[in-house]
Amino acid sequence: MKQRENEAKSDIALGVLGSLAALYSLVKTAGWKRREGSPGIDLQTIVKFLLFYAGDLANVLFAVTVGIGVYWLIFFKAPSTITIRLPTPEKEYNFITYVSCAFALKVIHFLHKLASQLSIDIFFIDWERPRGRGYRSLQGGTEPKSTMSPVSIWRTYFVANEWNEIQTLRKTCPAFQIMAVLFFLEVVHFEDLATVNASHVPIVKREIPWHQILRYSIACTTWLTIGCLQIFFFASLYERFVEDKIKQFVDLCSVSNISVLILSSRCFGYYIHGRSVHGYADTNMEEMSLNLKREAENLCGQRGLLPNTDIQTFQILITNKMRQQYDRIHEPLIKKKVPSHLLDSSVNPVEQSINAYHTMNKFLSAFIDHANRETDYIIKDKLLVEKIISMEFLEPMEKSIFYNDDSYSFTDVLYYGNEASLLIFDTLFFCIVDIASESYVLAAVLTYFQQRLFEMIRSVTGRKNLVAKTMVDDRFLL
């Protein structure tokens, strides 16, 4: 048997797929440059391309190594008579090198995704307006002064809490994933298929040595199969018949009269239209129930941004002018360090932040309402090619562009929209630990702690970013 032929085929697959990955990374870099609103090529562009390519090349190496492993597993274990020989220790070492490179590149890709999610700009647009007048007592015993009734901040806090909760929502249950994988590998003895013995008769552990390629193949196929089954169950059954937290969040925005603006890049992001069709949300239980009943019976308008539509989520591409105005208002809100001689000593920093919040709310409300000609926008559908390559062909020169998005792609800034990357990262982590220790149990334990660690980092840091960008008081986030 000529093993060089198999090695040559593997090299060809890596070369072809690696080249395609490089082209795809170039397309993603071009799309990122457009979303950043900077046409020139600089050092940041090169670094971004390398980060994109690291993730795409990791996927290529992972796909090729899994394919190689499944090939050897099928053709060595399936036939009644031995037709091929397992790779030599030298080839086995080269295979492990590929897996290690895939893991290292996937770590870079994962950290890049994590850092991007933890630096997004987000703001909750409150559409509620005062509905009456109240009286405010003044100091010095003077008569109360008539003022407009303040708008409650509790709805914003409630929406912020729900956003904070779904930041680490996944389409799989990590604990169930690990227990199921261990059950099949250790209890059902799938790991016995990883021995150099070609027979299917159960053997005593350690009586016959493992082969790393077969062991890697068994671990990957088991992990990926259970993960894909979980995703299928979650999407087709659980979300449909039990609860869909993403849709529930969008519904909550509508009931709360709160819209959400998310900017994942300088000039690109997402918009969730949560403006209430009733015009208000601060009301009692009886009136709220009546409003929901009217909406269920189609006795009022639809929730969509455009009249007679129900599309509430959009991908947005804003102009440089719009972004500059956003940054100008947002600067005091995020509490940037400003030289003391530039600060107005007569204004309290807390009051500056509150004023910035109200200014931003009015600015974004006017932007959505087409009240400012300089920062207007149009609404259109994305082309199929634009959706496939995740790149917009039009540049927002004079007007921003809102793309109808009924697939809730704003989840790209959450764990929820990156389940495939997380699944591959967890698989490679599990396999790397197993290669080093030859223990599925140890690999499962370390994988679980790794998942919990990064989930905690994502939750804590995401919470801090949410507080900094929206001025939601940290004490009200559960």
pLDDT in tens, 339-355: 444 445 555 667 777 88
Cβ-proximal residues to 42 (8 Å cutoff; 6+ apart), any chain: none
Residues 365-399 have pLDDT tens digits of 999 999 888 889 999 999 999 998 888 888 888 89
What percent of the chain shows pLDDT beyond 90? 57
pLDDT level of residue 435 (50, 70, 90 thresholds): very high
Measured between alpha carbons, how far is 251 from 271 in angstroms, rounded to an integer? 14
The predicted-structure confidence for 162-188, as pLDDT tens digits, reads as follows: 999 999 999 999 999 999 999 999 999
The pLDDT score that the predictor gives to residue 297 is 83
Angstrom distance (rounded) from CA 227 to CA 232: 9
The more confidently predicted of residues 27 and 79 is 27
- The pLDDT score that the predictor gives to residue 330 is 83
DSSP notation for 345-359: TTS-HHHHHHHHHHH
210 or 36, greater pLDDT: 36
Question: Which pLDDT belongs to residue 418?
Answer: 95
Instruction: Say whether pLDDT at 26 is over 60.
Output: yes
Supply the pLDDT for residue 410: 95
Nearest-angstrom CA–CA distance, 154 and 34: 37
Lowest mean pLDDT among 112-121, 197-206, 294-303, 439-448: 197-206
222 has pLDDT over 70? yes
Which positions ≥6 away from 421 have C-beta within 8 Å? 55, 109, 110, 113
As a whole number, mean pLDDT of residues 263-274 equals: 94
pLDDT in tens, 36-86: 988 788 899 999 999 999 999 999 999 999 999 888 888 776 655 555 677
pLDDT at residue 205 above 60? no
pLDDT at position 340: 46
Return the number of other C-beta atoms located less than 10 Å from residue 70's C-beta: 15
Extents of the domains making up the chain: 121-478
Enter the pTM of the model: 0.89
Residue 431 has pLDDT above 90, yes or no: yes
Instruction: Report how far residue 246's alpha carbon sits from residue 255's, in angstroms, rounded to the nearest whole number.
Output: 14
Q: What is residue 233's predicted lDDT score, i.e. its pLDDT? A: 95
Region 215-241: mean pLDDT is 94
Hey, how many other C-beta atoms are within 10 angstroms of the C-beta on 271? 27
Say what the pLDDT of residue 144 is: 57
Q: How far apart are CA 231 and CA 236, in angstroms?
A: 8
Dihedral angle, C-alpha 64, 99, 232, 171, nearest 10 °: -140
Whether 333 shows a pLDDT value over 80: the answer reads no
Q: How high is the pLDDT of residue 334?
A: 57
Q: How confident is the model at residue 337 (pLDDT cuts 50, 70, 90)?
A: very low
Rounded CA separation 208/214 (Å)? 13
pLDDT of residue 203: 47
CB-based contacts of 77, cutoff 8 Å, min separation 6: 193, 198, 200, 214
Task: Specify the pairing of strand 377-380 against strand 400-404.
Answer: parallel
Work out the mean pLDDT of the chain and round it to a whole number: 86
Instruction: Quote helix, strand, coil % in the chain, to nearest 5.
Output: 60, 10, 30
Q: How far is CA 40 from the centre of its chain?
A: 28
